[in-house]
Amino acid sequence: MPSYSRIVKDGLWDNNGVFGMILGMCPTMAMTTSATNGLGMGLATAAVMAASSLLVAMFRGYITQEVRIPVYILIVAAMVTLVDMTMNAYMHELYKVLGLFIPLIVSNCLPLARLEAFAAKEPVLPSLADGVFMGIGFTLALTAIGAVREIIGSGTLFADAHLLLGPSFRFLETQVLPHDTGVLVMILPPGGFLATGMLMAAKRLIDLKAGKEIKMAGAHAV
Amino acid sequence: MKLFPVRGGVHPEYRKERTSELAIVALPLPSTLYLPLQQHIGAPAEPVVAEGDLVKKGQLLARGAGPVSAPTHAPTSGRIAAVTQVTAPHPSGLPQTTIVLEADGRDEWAELPAPIADPFAADSQAIRDRVAQSGIVGMGGAAFPSAVKLNLGTQNRLETLLINGAECEPYLTCDDRVMREYAAEVIDGARIMAHALGAPQVVIAIEQNKPQALAEMTRAAAGIAAVTVVGVPVQYPMGSERHLTQAITGRETPAGKLTAELGVVVHNVATARAVHHAVRFGRPLLARVVTVSGGAIGKPANVEVPLGTLVSELVAFCGGLSQPPRRVVNGGPMMGQPLPNLDVPVIKGMSGILALTAEETNEQPSRACIRCGTCVTICPCGLVPVEMAAFIRKDNLEAAAKLGVTDCFSCGSCSYVCPSHIPLVHYFNYAKGSLAAANREKRKNDQVKALVEAKAARLEKIAQAKRDAAARAKAAAPSTPEASA
Amino acid sequence: MTTAYTDKSGPFTHAPSSVAKTMATVLAALLPATLYDAWLFGWPAIFLFLFTIAACMALEAATLAAQGKEWRVALSDYSVVLTGWLLAMSLPPWAPWWVGLIAAVFAVVLAKHLFGGLGQNVFNPAMVGRVAVLVSFPVQMTAFVAPHPLFAAASPGFIDALGITFGHAFHFDTMTAASALGYVKTELTKGVPVTQSMPGLMGLVGGARPGSFGETSAPLILAGGLFLLWRRIISWHIPVAMLVTLFVLGTVFHAANPARFTDGTFQLVAGASFLGAFFIATDYVTSPVSKPGQLVFGCGVGLLTWVIRTFAGYPEGVAFAVLLMNALTPIIDHHLRPRAFGRTRTGAPLPLKGGK
Amino acid sequence: MLFAVGSLAVMGATLGTILGVASRYLAVEENPLEQELQGLLPGSQCGQCGYVGCSQYAAALAKNEAAVTLCTPGGKAVAEALAKKLGVTADLSDHEEKGPEYAFIDESLCIGCLRCTQECSSDAIVGAPKQMHTVITDNCHGCSKCFKVCPTEAIKMCKVPVTLSSWHWEKPDSPHAHVH
Amino acid sequence: MKDIVLLIVGAALVNNVVLARFLGLCSFMGVTTKLDTALGMGMATTFVITVSSMADWAIEKFLLVPYDLGYLRTVTFILVIAAAVQFTEMVIRKVSPALFQTLGIYLPLITTNCAVLGVALLLVAGQYNFVESAVFAFASSLGYSLVMAIFAGLRERIALAEVPMLFAGPPIGFVTASLLALAFMGFSGMSTN
Amino acid sequence: MNPRTLIHAVILGAFCTGFGIVLAATDRATHDQIKQRALEDMQNSLSQVIPPGLHDNNPVKDAIQLTTDGGKTLTVYRAMKDGKVTGVAYQIVGNGYAGPVKLMLGVDPNGHVLGVRATEHHETPGLGDKIDIAKTDWITKFTGRWLGNPPEDKWKVKKDGGVFDQFSGATITPRGVVGAIRKGLLFFAAHKDQMLEVR
Ligand SMILES: Cc1cc2nc3c(=O)[nH]c(=O)nc-3n(C[C@H](O)[C@H](O)[C@H](O)COP(=O)(O)O)c2cc1C
Ligand SMILES: Cc1cc2nc3c(=O)[nH]c(=O)nc-3n(C[C@H](O)[C@H](O)[C@H](O)COP(=O)(O)O)c2cc1C
Ligand SMILES: Cc1cc2nc3c(=O)[nH]c(=O)nc-3n(C[C@H](O)[C@H](O)[C@H](O)COP(=O)(O)O)c2cc1C
Ligand SMILES: Cc1cc2nc3c(=O)[nH]c(=O)nc-3n(C[C@H](O)[C@H](O)[C@H](O)CO)c2cc1C
Ligand code: SF4
Ligand code: SF4
Ligand code: SF4
Ligand code: SF4
Ligand code: FES
């Protein structure tokens, strides 16, 4: 079993879901047109990941190899549906912002990958920790990508944050560039890929500066 | 005669005018000659003389060893000073076994084999034997033992002997001069070879930038029905035998096959002349015409040089170096090989010695490929040099092999045109060499593996026999358990 | 001078060609059209043009320097000048400086040097630059001005022009006109048939019309293209394939439904057809290396240009079409290799025919 | 509500049955090492290793055709685990750069003891007892076992020499070496 | 006829699953280092998307809508997909090892491919009939295969380039994808005309 | 059947049952809430196009279905006060730059616009999305207008010879919106009786 500090470091930085494992790319691209969107999607995903990791770690003794994948997917899908319905009913304002994104979490391959790689093998508490920190790492990555795209693309940062986090978070909303300036392409599909690629290179630069041996993820092939 | 189009190719600046009007001159006999045992493709010759032996001109010094090999003869009379290691005229600069002959200045002939009085009545085997004895190898550059090629008629029904007078390489004019000065000898040699091959027809192909040679040869061939002289388009590498065959017959030689399987055998004009000498006069191959040219040569010339002459002496004869050359090349500038230094001997396949200035080589630092595609368009083999080189650069030789790098015959066209000055041919030579080495390695490994398995099996058999014996012994003496322990 | 002996295999002679010469020839071919356009659109156009090229060069030097590579050598091959030049020619002549700058970042830094620099990029840098700003700043990128010839009364003076390019003196709502393709497209959405909105061809050919800097002088561009063909810098395959495809599609569909589709000649002379065919689609780096591949590439560019012009949201299609075909280039290259001598297309040795 | 639960349960049970039956009747023999290796891999089936999914990579690893460092999601930990399982680190340092060699017997020192002949697994050494032995170079794969057992140090390991026919051009410098 | 053509062009190019709808991106980034592999993945995914979309269409039509079980949509769809993929894999593997060589090996990857669920959900949202659904699903997966092949071709070429160290590997892959998406923006606005 | 085979069925079935129960229970608990929220959302958007003071009913409850010329059914929400219809609201669709633009149009019994709002669109941020009330108040310029103010042939953007502003560089979106409103008012004129009739 990996140590908790390893779990935290892996989830947040070293083996980050987006920049390290390159998984969960679909919401990463689709939901990062603004930092707020990225944050919201990230939080919802983190919740689902934590819950499903916990459940899988608890039940894994009862699951056979052959039906493993359907059961894991079932668990994720059920958690997602649960979150979806509950939010719709009791956190409606938040749901109106996030509602569209939530069903998409099912098809995010990051939760499933973590279930297979971690929760299916490790005890309950570390699995929960892995789910939580992988989720937070994912949230951070999405927020960072969203921030880059939003600043360059629309000149704002955390616009509409109050819709997600409540009116007390209005202070986050900043106008970075003059009103209505922005390089539109950044909030269109090409900008998503571009921001991700750039941030990935930036992470590599930081690792390099920190003297870490860089992990050339897949670099052997490209 | 109807000609057929040939793919690709380039039109380099020919620069032949520097020597094309200079008649062949003979080099005064040097005092020492260096005769390497390997002046040809195939197994090295085996020396039949030892240090201190006195030899006459034309006497056998080393005999061919094995089916593909060629003998070497003494270009003059003298004493064998040594059989030793001397730097080969080869870019590796490696030494090879060489017979060193000190000329006595008398130039006395040994007793030569009798001329074959009427070669056309003679048995073709007799002619092939004579060619083999005479040490004749292809003079077009490849230096393949000619007698072996003359054997091709025994396995294939041949139609045409194609005499290669294309001389498509820039600078070189030795074949041009030979055709102009010895047209009759060339045609006679060609007809003898055709007879040996059993080919009814001789076609002599000459690039159209040699009008006098065309005229001379046509005149010499006049009235001989079986011999046709054709002018072929000026297009490097028209002299490649597969391409020349295609230009003349329109047929493409399949990969891995010989032109002979299409009924065509190709020989160089100088080879034909050597055959003439061997058959009509019994003379072995002792000298060859070499074009000495390039901007750094004092007085460019076409020189008939005794084999084994040091290149430095040849260059000195041609007025020495007027300036330090950028490159010294054995052969033409396109396909020729750089020489490690000037103190190497002239050998049978050496058609030119070029001392080129920097302006002539126009070498520049290479830059990144801009994918202009010119190399693809001009490659006469239909290859994709740009992609092959890209794979080789990334050490992916298998991918390059898949693209056909082993089909490349290093004609140099692609490197010549590349605007980025990428040493494409160098990449391909490296890849071909490495792939061949890997192949050899693999063959050897397979062989070793078989041996290891055989030995293991043998040992196992012995061990089994021992066990059986022990078991038998045990069975024979059941009462004494200690015996088997 | 020293004699180099055996450090390099042959050949030991070389055609008098080099990358810099190639690029310089292309620049020379562009010069007449450029001068004409500079005259046609006046000082603002000249400022933007020079600024864009300077930005491209500076960015190339900066990216190489940041990687610790030698940048002077790279600049001396003029490829970045050509990229900047073509990029500038694809922008509206009175666009503000920052449009040129952002386009240059996309072209030189993202599309070229992140891929390893000259020769290694997969997308046409100039077109990446143009499309990125087209998508980002549709207002500025579709705001064309009618020609204001240099020194004509209505044209802005030197100082005014500085204000247009580098300040805020240009008001998009008041001065702009649509390009011919854009006009036809907007009219069509209003229900005006093409037959009424299609401008006269003579005006288009003459070039005195609103449009990008480089698309308004079709005859001079054509002349430059023919010059390149004559100098054997480019081969006919891509331009001819592209223009023929475009013309045939235009003609056929116009014949079928004149109210909906513009005709072939219009497709040829409007927009950046000639510039694209001779100078952009022919970029060595991003187009196939074999002749059959180039034919397919050219046809593809022609087809996609027509499709995008006719059906998609953007009025001008050459840039997108070139980028889309750039993306297909590796696959084209993969499948349309020449047949090796003595082998079949699949690489097997040819059969020995006749057995003579 | 009952209907919802019921239909979902039925669906699950049916699918479970199908998969269960299928896994029984459609079982395919698998290499146990492959299975073990696959167990070590993250199972995200993302294909970033360059193989189509973990099982392919595991198969390649089992056949010793792939490096252990290719799995991106697995990171360093998985690479180490794989290396441990396959015991490859040691191997790597062992097989590093020596270039082909062959054994050469100095005939003046050889006493004909036959030890080398017994040691050579490819029968590359010939010779009768008490007579000089020689190495058939073509059969020698340079394992140096004979070298280690020779009591008189008559055996030398030599680099296979480069000859005119085996020489070839070296790889040219990358073009960028000239430019930058 | 015209509608069908529009549907196909729209699903394959204009609203390309990968580049415009952002579905199936993990395999798009992961399985495209070699052209052959990418093509195989495309083929296998096409098969699974088409088959499972039709099954999901039936579930929607005969179970979820009549009994007002919309909240079970995600769960049932994904279950069907997972089971279908696993079952197909087992069958192909047993029945035709040859087909498994070319196609089957890609199957486990497809369960975690959002494009499959995504297309099924899009079908529901689009309220297509059965034939339209089949066409839409097939065209969408064709668009997926197309960009997979294109992207793999590009990456094979980039593998030969001297990409700066910071960008070698996935980062340059993303930059390439970005420029590819930029090129595909040329098709935007096409369905409205 | 062999129990080892059956075990998979049992496991998957059990999980399905378990989660089925959880989900169904949650659905039970949240069903009405969610319905209620959806209703509130609708009322909310209606309140933007029909001033709340105009009615004492719940317009969502008093909706009627009409058939459009295209043969589709259209829901018309009706605001009533004292048993009389004081305003109607219905969805209209315009052709935007990037697909249909859905709008909710509120009209008073005289055919005057009570309010319009874009409810769903995919127009380009920074260009076409200025029709969104969250971005600019352009859409409010229609309030109080009718098919005589301006005259029907002036119900166009300025660029096409009408009276309404377009946005610089984006004409298609406002053109689509203006056209949709004009058609919506024409629809009102044609179906006025049905809309205002109280049974
Ligand atoms: C990198 C960069 C990007 C810019 N992007 C925009 C832009 O997207 N839109 C814009 O109107 N101005 C842009 N500008 C221009 C400045 O914001 C400038 O102040 C702006 O033109 C304000 O002018 P205005 O008063 O005409 O709005 C950009 C400037 C720079 C340096
Ligand atoms: C690219 C290339 C160019 C050649 N050019 C000539 C040439 O110009 N003249 C010539 O005699 N042989 C030339 N050869 C060699 C011929 O292919 C062929 O080997 C030779 O003509 C056979 O004659 P030989 O055995 O008498 O030398 C060339 C070979 C290659 C690969
Ligand atoms: C990326 C992009 C997005 C656009 N988005 C819109 C839009 O949302 N609404 C719109 O009316 N025009 C949009 N356009 C502009 C149209 O293509 C067209 O140029 C414009 O509507 C014509 O208006 P004009 O006559 O004012 O130039 C967009 C253009 C581009 C390049
Ligand atoms: C015929 C020709 C056409 C070219 N066209 C372009 C072009 O359209 N865009 C561009 O950025 N560079 C162009 N270049 C320059 C050069 O190839 C380009 O900078 C490389 O793509 C950068 O790697 C062209 C060069 C030549 C020789
Ligand atoms: S000729 Fe040189 S620059 Fe042109 S494609 Fe070939 S290798 Fe590249
Ligand atoms: S050297 Fe080889 S690759 Fe180059 S042109 Fe000649 S045959 Fe083609
Ligand atoms: S081991 Fe050494 S001494 Fe003994 S036989 Fe072999 S070579 Fe000779
Ligand atoms: S080195 Fe190995 S293979 Fe070679 S002779 Fe000695 S024991 Fe035999
Ligand atoms: S998140 Fe969509 S495929 Fe991975």
Q: What atom in ligand 2 is closest to the CA of residue B334?
A: 1
Q: F16, E72: Cβ pair inside 8 Å? A: no
Cβ of residue F124 lying under 6 Å from some atom of ligand 3: yes
Q: How far is the CA of F172 from the centre of ligand 3 (A)?
A: 6
What is residue C194's DSSP assignment?
A: H
CA C78 to chain centroid: 16
pLDDT in tens, F151-175: 888 898 887 778 888 887 677 889 8
pLDDT confidence of residue D132 = 76
State the Cα angle at B253 between B252 and B256, rounded to 5°.
Answer: 145
- From B4-18, B413-427, D132-146, the region with the lowest mean pLDDT: D132-146
The sign of the CA dihedral E6, E7, E11, E12 is negative
Say what the ipTM of the complex is: 0.86
pLDDT in tens, C263-317: 899 899 888 899 999 999 999 999 999 999 999 999 999 999 999 998 887 878 9
pLDDT in tens, C63-87: 999 999 888 888 999 999 999 999 9
Q: How far is the CA of E63 from the centre of ligand 5 (A)?
A: 62
Selection from C61, C43, C62 nearest residue C51 by Cα: C43
Distance CA F120, CA F134 (A): 13
Name residue F155's amino acid. Answer: W
Q: How far is the CA of D29 from the centre of ligand 5 (A)?
A: 50
Q: Which residues of E touch F (CB under 8 A)?
A: 71-72, 75, 79, 188-189, 191-192
Residue A53 distance to chain D (closest CA, Å): 15
Distance CA E106, CA D103 (A): 49
Q: Which ligand is nearest to the CA of D112?
A: 7
User: How many domains, in total, are found in chain E?
Assistant: 1
Contact E87, F8 (CB under 8 A): no
Query: What is the residue range of A122's domain?
Result: 4-221
Residue ranges for chain F with pLDDT beneath 70? 1-4, 98, 125-126, 169, 199
Does the pLDDT of residue D95 top 50, yes or no?
A: no
Candidates 3.30.1490, 1.20.120, 2.30.29, 1.10.1060; CATH matching B366-478: 1.10.1060
What is residue F157's DSSP assignment?
A: B
Using alpha carbons, list the distances in angstroms from residue A162 to A145, A154, A174, B250. 19, 18, 12, 80
Least CA distance to A182: which residue of chain C?
A: C136
Look at the block and give the residue holding tokens 């100082």: C159
Q: Which ligand is nearest to the CA of B274?
A: 2
Q: D168, B430: Cβ pair inside 8 Å? A: yes
Distance CA C305, CA C322 (A): 8
What domains are defined for chain D?
32-86 (1.10.15.40), 101-159 (3.30.70.20)
Contacts of A190 in chain C (CB under 8 A): 132, 135
Selection from E2, E16, E7 nearest residue E127 by Cα: E7
pLDDT confidence of residue F161 = 78
Look at the block and give the residue holding tokens 């070139």: C322
pLDDT confidence of residue E103 = 56
pLDDT in tens, E106-118: 666 677 788 888 8
**Distance, first Cα to last Cα, chain A:** 33
CA B315 to chain centroid: 22
Q: B324, C2: Cβ pair inside 8 Å? A: yes
Structure tokens at C254: 């116009």
Q: Could you tell me which residues are beta bridge partners of residue F157? A: F164
Neighbours of D92 (CB within 10 A): 11
Q: Which ligand is nearest to the CA of A105?
A: 9
Q: C135, A190: Cβ pair inside 8 Å? A: yes
Every domain range in chain B assigned CATH 3.40.50.11540: 119-287
Cβ of residue A181 lying under 6 Å from some atom of ligand 1: yes
Q: What atom in ligand 4 is closest to the CA of residue C234?
A: 1
pLDDT in tens, A176-214: 888 778 898 998 899 999 999 999 999 999 998 887 765
Does residue E53 lie in a domain region? yes
Q: F8, D4: Cβ pair inside 8 Å? A: no
Neighbours of B456 (CB within 10 A): 12
Q: E30, A22: Cβ pair inside 8 Å? A: yes
Domain boundaries in chain F? 49-196
pLDDT confidence of residue D93 = 32
Q: Classify residue F70 as exposed, middle or buried by CB count within 10 Å of its CB (0-12, 13-18, 19+).
A: exposed
Using alpha carbons, list the distances in angstroms from residue F66 to F74, F115, F155. 5, 21, 25
Q: How far is the CA of D85 from the centre of ligand 6 (A)?
A: 47
- From A17-21, D89-93, E171-175, the region with the lowest mean pLDDT: D89-93
pLDDT confidence of residue F135 = 79
pLDDT in tens, E99-108: 666 555 566 6
Contacts of C8 in chain D (CB under 8 A): 172
Neighbours of C267 (CB within 10 A): 28
Q: D179, C73: Cβ pair inside 8 Å? A: yes
Name residue C137's amino acid. Answer: F
* Residue nearest atom 15 in ligand 3 by C-alpha distance: F170
- Please name the chains neighbouring C, where neighbouring means 3+ C-beta pairs under 8 angstroms: A, B, D, E, F
Least CA distance to E191: which residue of chain F?
A: F99
What is residue C349's DSSP assignment?
A: B
Look at the block and give the residue holding tokens 């399985």: E31
> What average pLDDT does the structure give for chain A?
85
**In testing the pocket of ligand 4, which one of C59, C75, C79 has its CB within 8 Å of the most ligand atoms?**
C79
Structure tokens at B88: 């080969």
Q: Which residue in the set F160, F169, F175 is minimally distant from C138, CB to CB?
A: F169
Contacts of C136 in chain A (CB under 8 A): 182-186
Contact C214, C34 (CB under 8 A): yes
Contacts of D18 in chain E (CB under 8 A): 83, 87
3-state class of A195 per DSSP? helix
> What average pLDDT does the structure give for chain C?
88
**In testing the pocket of ligand 6, which one of B410, B422, B430 has its CB within 8 Å of the most ligand atoms?**
B410
Using alpha carbons, list the distances in angstroms from residue C17 to B13, B418, B427, C22, F163. 13, 7, 20, 7, 63
Does the pLDDT of residue A218 top 50, yes or no?
A: no
Residue D99 distance to chain C (closest CA, Å): 23
**Distance, first Cα to last Cα, chain B:** 91
Q: Which ligand is nearest to the CA of B390?
A: 5
C68 inside 8 A of chain B by CB: no
Share of chain C above pLDDT 90, in %: 59
> In the predicted model, what is the mean pLDDT of residues B419-440?
93
Q: What atom in ligand 6 is closest to the CA of residue B8?
A: 5
Contacts of A188 in chain C (CB under 8 A): 135
Q: Which residue in the set D42, D50, D76 is minimally distant from A116, CB to CB?
A: D42
Q: Which residues line ligand 6 (CB under 6 A)?
A: B 379-381, 383, 385, 408-414, 424-425, 428
User: How many domains, in total, are found in chain A?
Assistant: 1
What is residue B109's DSSP assignment?
A: B
Mutate to test the interface with B, among D98, D116, D120, D178 (most CBs of B within 10 A): D178
Query: What is the residue range of E68's domain?
Result: 2-180
Please state whether the peptide bond connecting residue B5 to the residue before it is cis, i.e. omega within 30 degrees of 0. Answer: no
Could you tell me which residue, E76 or B176, shows the higher pLDDT? B176
> What average pLDDT does the structure give for chain B?
92
Contacts of E112 in chain D (CB under 8 A): 44-46
Distance CA D102, CA D29 (A): 43
- Please name the chains neighbouring E, where neighbouring means 3+ C-beta pairs under 8 angstroms: A, B, C, D, F
Contact D132, D110 (CB under 8 A): yes
Selection from C92, C1, C107, C14 nearest residue C53 by Cα: C107
Q: Which residues of A touch D (CB under 8 A)?
A: 2, 10, 14-15, 20-23, 64-67, 70, 74, 109, 112-113, 116-117, 120, 215, 217-218, 220-221
Contacts of C344 (CB under 8 A, 6+ apart): C350
Every domain range in chain B assigned CATH 1.10.1060: 366-478
Using alpha carbons, list the distances in angstroms from residue C331 to A220, C111, C283, E89, E147. 21, 19, 17, 29, 12
Selection from B106, B43, B39 nearest residue B345 by Cα: B39
Q: A30, E22: Cβ pair inside 8 Å? A: yes
CA C290 to chain centroid: 20
Contacts of D59 in chain E (CB under 8 A): none
pLDDT in tens, E135-182: 999 999 999 999 999 999 999 999 999 999 999 989 999 999 999 999
Chains B and A touch (3+ CB pairs under 8 A): no
State which fold the B119-287 domain adopts.
Rossmann fold (3.40.50)
Does the pLDDT of residue B358 top 70, yes or no?
A: yes
pLDDT confidence of residue D98 = 46
Does residue E187 lie in a domain region? no
> In the predicted model, what is the mean pLDDT of residues E61-74?
86
* Continuous segment of H or E residues that includes residue B101: strand B95-103
pLDDT confidence of residue D32 = 62
